[in-house]
């Protein structure tokens, strides 16, 4: 009896296990699709068609397009910097400052020492040629502003009877006649501290400097400049 019961149990287990395995396998969602085969039995795979990027043609390097898309022109200088000031070409940047210092030194050599006594004889500042139809005559006190005053003459006629020299330039416009145009500057006083000191600038109608001069005068002495219109 016990042997028959054991045999029945074994047979029952053998029959249930395959059914349980089938039920378990049926719950999975993964599956595979075999690759299609051609008539020769080989896998019929279609490779991806990847083309290399087109390079600009050597004969047309400025075409500006790669693979149909616009690209920046490589000939432009993207590293250039914007500047509001005029650029000067120097091999050595130090030359810029050397040039400026040389100009300043030259002006200082022409500038009289305001601490010394003013010139007691009339001074001739030079003659300057121009093709400009008019000029701007500007002047200021280059020393300490101490009340220096001048009178301005053009060809002997008074055009500015009493000018107080300040620390910034004051000016007037003068229409030139063909040939010589004489301008005199007479020191009316020596201010609180002598002498009468002034810086003179004459600019043409384009703003270019025709003359840059200085004087240090005693009271009553004149400084004269001549502009020659060609």
pLDDT digits (tens, 9 = 90+) for 131-173: 999 999 999 999 889 999 999 999 999 999 999 999 999 999 9
CB atoms within 10 A of CB 212: 15
CA distances from 86 to 24, 79, 82 (A): 86, 18, 10
CB atoms within 10 A of CB 169: 14
Q: How many residues does the chain have?
A: 230
Helix (H) or strand (E) holding 138: strand 134-140
Beta carbons of 137 and 174 less than 8 angstroms apart: yes
Whether pLDDT at 223 is above 50: yes
pLDDT of residue 89: 58
- Per the model's pLDDT, the better-predicted residue between 41 and 186 turns out to be 186
The mean of the pLDDT values for the chain is 74
pLDDT of residue 21: 45
Q: Is the dihedral of CA 51, 54, 57, 60 positive or negative?
A: positive
CA distances from 62 to 72, 74, 75 (A): 10, 8, 8
How many Å apart are CA 213 and CA 179, to the nearest integer? Answer: 21
- Per the model's pLDDT, the better-predicted residue between 93 and 39 turns out to be 93
- Per the model's pLDDT, the better-predicted residue between 97 and 214 turns out to be 214
CA distances from 25 to 16, 22, 33, 191 (A): 15, 5, 17, 116
pLDDT of residue 144: 86
pTM for the structure as a whole: 0.55
Mean pLDDT value across residues 217-225 = 97
Mean pLDDT value across residues 22-47 = 49
How many Å apart are CA 221 and CA 121, to the nearest integer? Answer: 6
pLDDT digits (tens, 9 = 90+) for 15-34: 544 444 444 444 445 545 55
Name the pLDDT band for 45 (thresholds 50, 70, 90).
very low
Query: Of 62-66, 147-151, 203-207, where does mean pLDDT reach its minimum?
Result: 62-66
How many Å apart are CA 42 and CA 50, to the nearest integer? Answer: 23
pLDDT digits (tens, 9 = 90+) for 66-117: 555 555 554 445 454 545 445 555 556 666 556 565 555 555 556 666 556 7
Whether pLDDT at 44 is above 50: no
Which domains does the chain carry? Answer: 115-229 (2.60.40)
């Amino acid at each position: 009896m016990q042997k028959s019961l054991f045999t029945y149990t074994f047979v029952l287990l053998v029959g249930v296990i395959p059914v349980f395995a089938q039920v378990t396998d049926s719950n999975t969602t993964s599956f595979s699709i075999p690759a299609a085969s051609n008539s020769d039995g080989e896998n019929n795979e279609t490779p991806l068609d990847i083309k290399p990027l087109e390079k600009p043609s050597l004969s047309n390097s400025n075409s500006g397009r790669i693979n149909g898309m616009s690209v920046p022109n490589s000939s432009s200088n993207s590293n250039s910097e914007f500047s509001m000031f005029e650029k000067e070409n120097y091999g050595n940047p130090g030359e810029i400052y050397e040039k400026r210092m040389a100009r300043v030194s030259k002006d200082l050599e022409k500038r009289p020492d305001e601490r010394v006594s003013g010139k007691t004889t009339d001074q001739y500042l030079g003659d300057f040629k121009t093709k400009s139809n008019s000029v701007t005559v500007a002047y200021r006190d280059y020393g300490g502003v101490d009340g220096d005053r001048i009178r301005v003459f053009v060809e002997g006629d008074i055009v500015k009877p009493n000018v107080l020299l300040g620390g910034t330039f004051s000016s007037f416009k003068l229409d030139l006649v063909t040939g010589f145009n004489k301008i005199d500057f007479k020191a009316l006083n020596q201010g609180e501290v002598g002498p009468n000191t002034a810086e003179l600038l004459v600019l043409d109608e384009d703003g270019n400097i025709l003359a840059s001069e200085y004087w240090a005068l005693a009271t009553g002495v004149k400084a004269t400049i001549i502009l020659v219109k060609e």
